Amino acid sequence: MKIEGRNKVKPEFNMSSMTDIVFLLLIFFMLASTLVTTNAIDVLLPSATGKTTNKKSVAVTISKDLTFYIDNNTILERNLELKLLEVLSTEDGQPTITLRAEESVPISKVAFVMDIANRNKLKVILAVKP
């Protein structure tokens, strides 16, 4: 007499719950990535190759209408050096300026900021489009 059990284990795996989790994670990361914005003024940068590893710096932006910004704050050209020194005095390590000048800005304005950095022994990184 042969006795068979009624409860057989089926080696199948239901993927519907795993698919739900993957779609929820996908939606979460899509929404989270749209909320991340850069803290900068929109300017058209010149193109170049190269890369910097410095993460701590102060951004000086010169827009096409020759308005100067330190990070996102508008500053007059004549007050630029004093404000830069004030902001960079709180930075740890080697003070660095990231210079973001639009393509149409005259080179004399870029040289003005670089001269300020040179006088105060500050490192300057010129931001460009990769």
β 58-62/68-70 pair status: antiparallel
CB 117 within 8 A of CB 130: no
**What residues contact 117, with CB distance under 8 A and at least 6 apart?**
97, 123, 124
Q: What is the pLDDT of residue 27?
A: 92
Q: What is the pLDDT of residue 7?
A: 75
Tell which residue, 119, 84, 82, has the closest CA to residue 98: 84
Indicate the pTM of the whole model.
Answer: 0.57
Find the largest Cα–Cα distance for the chain. 104
Write the CA distances from 94 to 12, 26, 55, 85, 97, integer angstroms: 60, 40, 11, 13, 10
Q: What is the pLDDT of residue 49?
A: 66
Q: What is the pLDDT of residue 120?
A: 86
Spell out the domains of the chain, with CATH numbers in brackets: 58-126 (3.30.420.270)
Give the pLDDT of the chain (130 residues) as one tens digit per residue: 677 767 777 777 777 888 899 999 999 988 888 776 666 666 666 666 665 555 567 888 898 898 999 888 898 988 888 988 888 877 667 778 888 888 888 889 889 999 988 888 888 888 877 6
